[in-house]
Structure 1
Amino acid sequence: MYKHLIGKQSEKVENQVERGAVAAFARSIGDPHPLYVDKEYGKYSKYQNNIAPPTFPRTFSYGTIPGLHLPVAGLIHGEQTFEYKRPLLIGEEIYCHSKVENYREKRAASGHLGFLTLINIGEDMRENNIFTSKVVLVLTEQAREGEDYYDSNHRA
């Protein structure tokens, strides 16, 4: 279903690590650690700034992968991992893009399942990698038969 997209990637999209968005995200996940929200605490930390929680990149835009259209129904967020070179600092600009790493299918009791693996990448303005996120989306039988699709400007 998606094998022909393996290796395709989106354009880079600029994202801002904005203080208010980080504070709101930290509250929403129930982790108001002072390193995320307290300006004075951040100023005296080893980063000399506040940082974003590790899963904050889920809020970023990663661009559109040409030809990738994700189904509206029957799509399951199966797994996500993050690997960081350094924390995201409040106020910095991050350039993000996605690429299709793999697609495979498996027969299950509920029918055929598809497993789409996407890699999300965040870089600084000098194109140094800050983080990489690997996302596995599961496409159920319903997703494989559906007609309604999202475009690939996903937040997975």
Structure 2
Amino acid sequence: MPPEDVKGGHRVLVVDDVPAVRAFLQLALAEQGYEVALAGDGRAGLQLAREFRPHLILLDWMMPRMNGAQVLRVLRRDPQLRQVPVVLMTGSVGVDELVSEFGVRWVLEKPFGIADLLMALEDALAAAPAAEPPATRRGTPAMSPKPDAKVAPKPDVVPRAACP
């Protein structure tokens, strides 16, 4: 879908191999006004990133087929995707050195709650290079996540089972 067709919030691509994590994030983000696309592994995530043109990518670090580091390498070489902010999700520790190599500034350690998720997304989107706001292309007001909105999916944290 071309970016011009989006009316409303930012587009967020979630790349995670755990279906429960994808479902949780889709529900939590959609309730906040984000348009969400889901991918179950790194390869599918890269293909979808090129089609969906996200404003932000939520990327799991440990995945089969293509892990977070491999996805980041490809993203940073792609002229259309290199400036897209990435929020890394991980149940692992010690990724700081690798993360700095790719310029990732936001890391969510699993399990994490909705408040931490929304704070990381808002910070990453605010710090993104001067990209045109998603809804201004057709003169509609840009929509950001509703700050006072209540999101109450159960459970309210990324499942512990999703933490390797």
TM class, shorter-length: under 0.3
**TM-score after normalising by structure 1:** 0.28
Q: Which has the larger radius of gyration?
A: 1
**TM-score after normalising by structure 2:** 0.27
Higher strand share: 1
